[in-house]
Structure 1
Amino acid sequence: MILILAKYLKFYFQISNFLISFTLRAIISLLTSFIISLCITPYFITFFQKKNFSQVIRLDGPKSHLKKKNIPTMGGIIILISFITSVLFWSDLYNPYLWYVLTIILFYALIGFIDDFYKIILDNSIGLTISKKIFLQTIITIIIVTLFYVNNTEKSALQFIIPFFKHIKIYLNFITYLIISYLIILWISNSVNLTDGLDGMAIISVILIVFGLALLSYITGDIQYSKYFNLPYLKYTKELVIICTAIIGSGLGFLWFNTYPATIFMGDIGSLSLGSAIGIITILIRQEILLLIMGGIFLLESLSVIIQVFFYKYKKYRVFLMAPIHHHFELKGYPESHIVARFGIISLILLLITLSILKVC
């Protein structure tokens, strides 16, 4: 919106140039979403408490989580409000990539809202069944990815990039592109949801990964930098940095209240929407393999659930004391704050490894 307004400031040309500076918009986008999130969260906490929108605890979960029963949930609404407000004000509304990201975020947020609402109304931790949730996610993802593929005008936007072999150009047909995009978006969105079991753990990893995506978006959206890092130039991806900084700002504001001991949880409306944002941005900048490295914590969480279910179903044997794996460490006696801090450290290390791989290959 600020870019549209700046075009009408013809008599204040220097001021309008200042306003449309990309670096300034990226920084202000972060600060705007952070301040909004920081300011509105206390009001939402009070509102949710009055409406009894509280966390529904798993009956088969760690007993230490029973004390979290009355803590408000659905805090993802706060993240969405602060993030979307900042993006709409500071980003280029004519950028088509912006609308792909916002659309999938809003629809995944709607799925999360329905899931959270069912949990609260029915007073159980199940909410939507897994099959219904996956079905809705599948429909939305297929539609968004198909629209992008059909409307895409850049051949390089369909290139599959393999680290260390970036000189090999693999262009994806529709079916292959759809399958890869579908798997990435569903995996990361549901993995963020699985990881959101300890105070601050999911949002810390999300912030770090989105920071990495911001750097990658800037590189692929700049002709000189993309050439230097031997990546395909994608003219629309640079604007994704504004989206990423808005997510980081809203995430930091939310973390202020979500850090241990949390006074609010993001709920599925937050975890699913944030996961979908990571997934679609990764697809748009063509860095699926690097996401598997950056998102190593989310990969570990989802794999622990798959392994646990497989071995228990076919071998009647539990590999972990409880899945996802962060619950395993809880039952081993590790304090919640220690687990969160150490998983955060691992996420930071994985981010640094990813950026190192980007440079050397």
Structure 2
Amino acid sequence: MLLELSLWLKPYISGFNLFSYVTLRAILAALTALLVSLAVGPWMIRKLASYKVGQSIRDDGPKTHFSKAGTPTMGGSLIIAAVTAATLLWADLRNHYVWILLFVLISFGAIGFIDDYKKLILKNSKGLSAKAKYAAQSVFGAIAAYWLFVSADVPQATTLYLPFLKDFAWPMGIFFVVVTYFWIVGFSNAVNLTDGLDGLAIMPTVLVSSALGVFAYVAGHIVFSKYLGVPNIPGSAEVVIFCAALGGAGLGFLWFNSYPAMVFMGDVGALAIGAALGAVAVIVRQEAVLVLMGGIFVVETLSVMLQVASFKLTGKRIFRMAPLHHHFELKGWPEPRVIVRFWIISVVLVLLGLATLKVR
């Protein structure tokens, strides 16, 4: 929106030429999303509290969590609003990747909103059934996957690449839709499972989205992509704006979500940002790198899968409680220690992911 205005004003005022640079607009998008979050956050928390949209606590969970009962949740809607506003203000709205990412963010956020609304407002403890939630995720995930497939204008946009394997390139064809679907839906649920402690999910989200922004910038730059051995995806540089907005909104949300949290993300936020990360990774052709950088999300999900499989097959549990962060709490780790150590691991994984830019 503001890009169009700056292009119109550029012939009259040369300084507006600066807004044609994606790096400047990415910085402004991050700051815009951060300021929107900080400005709207207190009002939203008061509003959620007035509606008595409080978090319910599992009886079998760590006893230290009982004090969190009643904390306002559905705060993820703040992230969605901030990201959407910043992206619409600073991105090139003629770019189809921008609209696909906003579609994924908002549609998956809507699924989470309905689930949270049923649980917290209508007092239906089950919320959306697992089948209904997965069906809705599947519909929107499949739409986004097919949209990316039909809008791909270069072969490399639907080719699978792997880090460390320079000569590996598999043109996926229609199978691209399947891979994209699983990455969007899979990471949507992975972030949702990770969102169990104050700030645990949002800081890795900020780190991973920022790193994916670097990949998006490189993939959209024909010289840098060739030099670093990254597939050149025309138009993907605008994805940097979305990634920056997600990072800024995440930091703004962390202001209120840090321990002890004033507000929780809820499914509305976790499902949305997880799906968005999956979609960004697919666009910039870094699905495998997302698995590495988002390793916290992956391990948390695997811990749940292993726990369920072990209990069904042997009647025994591998962990004291799943997801994994609860296992460490029940071992006696204070919540802040679990959170910060998971953050540290996330930083290391993101740095390793960025290192793949040169090790190819």
Fold conserved between structures, TM > 0.5:
yes
Q: CA RMSD in A?
A: 1.2
Say if 1:77 and 1:269, in contact at 8 Å, map to a contact too. Answer: yes
Say if 2:7 and 2:17, in contact at 8 Å, map to a contact too. Answer: no
Shift of 1:319: 0.5
Tell me the equivalent position of 2:204.
205
Tell me the equivalent position of 1:231.
230
Tell me the equivalent position of 1:112.
112
Tell me the equivalent position of 1:7.
7
**Which residue identity does 1:33 align to in structure 2?**
A
**Which residue identity does 2:151 align to in structure 1?**
N
Aligned residues: 360
Mapped to 2, the partners of 1:23 and 1:295 lie a distance apart of: 24
Q: How many percent of aligned residue pairs carry the same amino acid?
A: 43
**Which residue identity does 2:108 align to in structure 1?**
Y
Shift of 1:323: 0.4
Tell me the equivalent position of 2:246.
247
Tell me the equivalent position of 1:344.
343
Shift of 1:292: 0.8
Shift of 1:360: 1.4
1:70-116, Cα deviation, whole Å (9 max, x unpaired) = 11000011111111111100110001100110001111000000010
1:103 aligns to 2:106 (yes or no): no
Tell me the equivalent position of 1:358.
357
Gaps of 5+ in 2: none
Tell me the equivalent position of 1:332.
331
Mapped to 2, the partners of 1:50 and 1:107 lie a distance apart of: 26
Shift of 1:358: 2.5
Say if 1:222 and 1:233, in contact at 8 Å, map to a contact too. Answer: yes
Say if 1:161 and 1:287, in contact at 8 Å, map to a contact too. Answer: yes
Mapped to 2, the partners of 1:81 and 1:121 lie a distance apart of: 20
Say if 2:97 and 2:235, in contact at 8 Å, map to a contact too. Answer: yes
Higher mean C-alpha displacement, 290-299 vs 122-131: 122-131
- The TM-score with structure 1 as length reference comes to 0.97
1:13-53, Cα deviation, whole Å (9 max, x unpaired) = 31321233322111111111101101110111111111101
Please give the residue correspondences for 1:1-361 in structure 2 after superposition, counting only pairs within 5 Å: 1-123=1-123, 126-174=126-174, 176-361=175-360
Mapped to 2, the partners of 1:129 and 1:248 lie a distance apart of: 31
Any idea what SS the aligned residue of 1:128 has?
A: coil
**Which residue identity does 1:112 align to in structure 2?**
G
Mapped to 1, the partners of 2:87 and 2:191 lie a distance apart of: 22
Shift of 1:342: 0.1
Shift of 1:125: 5.0
Mapped to 2, the partners of 1:19 and 1:172 lie a distance apart of: 36
Gaps of 5+ in 1: none
Say if 1:142 and 1:182, in contact at 8 Å, map to a contact too. Answer: yes
Any idea what SS the aligned residue of 1:359 has?
A: coil
Mapped to 2, the partners of 1:98 and 1:355 lie a distance apart of: 23
Mapped to 2, the partners of 1:213 and 1:29 lie a distance apart of: 15
Say if 2:6 and 2:16, in contact at 8 Å, map to a contact too. Answer: yes
Say if 1:58 and 1:124, in contact at 8 Å, map to a contact too. Answer: no
Say if 1:72 and 1:263, in contact at 8 Å, map to a contact too. Answer: yes
Mapped to 1, the partners of 2:181 and 2:58 lie a distance apart of: 29
Mapped to 1, the partners of 2:141 and 2:67 lie a distance apart of: 36
Any idea what SS the aligned residue of 2:333 has?
A: coil
Any idea what SS the aligned residue of 1:170 has?
A: strand
Shift of 1:198: 0.2
**Which residue identity does 1:66 align to in structure 2?**
F
- The TM-score with structure 2 as length reference comes to 0.97
Say if 2:57 and 2:68, in contact at 8 Å, map to a contact too. Answer: yes
Regions of 4+ moved over 4 Å: none
Mapped to 1, the partners of 2:10 and 2:292 lie a distance apart of: 47
Mapped to 2, the partners of 1:150 and 1:19 lie a distance apart of: 30
**Which residue identity does 2:30 align to in structure 1?**
L
Mapped to 2, the partners of 1:39 and 1:122 lie a distance apart of: 29
**Which residue identity does 1:20 align to in structure 2?**
S
Mapped to 1, the partners of 2:249 and 2:135 lie a distance apart of: 29
**Which residue identity does 2:246 align to in structure 1?**
I
Mapped to 2, the partners of 1:212 and 1:144 lie a distance apart of: 22
Shift of 1:351: 0.7
Any idea what SS the aligned residue of 2:201 has?
A: helix
Any idea what SS the aligned residue of 2:71 has?
A: coil
Shift of 1:168: 2.7
Shift of 1:11: 4.9
Shift of 1:122: 4.6
Any idea what SS the aligned residue of 1:40 has?
A: helix
Say if 2:163 and 2:359, in contact at 8 Å, map to a contact too. Answer: no
Mapped to 2, the partners of 1:319 and 1:302 lie a distance apart of: 14
**Which residue identity does 2:341 align to in structure 1?**
R
Say if 2:22 and 2:237, in contact at 8 Å, map to a contact too. Answer: no
Say if 1:58 and 1:125, in contact at 8 Å, map to a contact too. Answer: no
Say if 1:57 and 1:124, in contact at 8 Å, map to a contact too. Answer: no
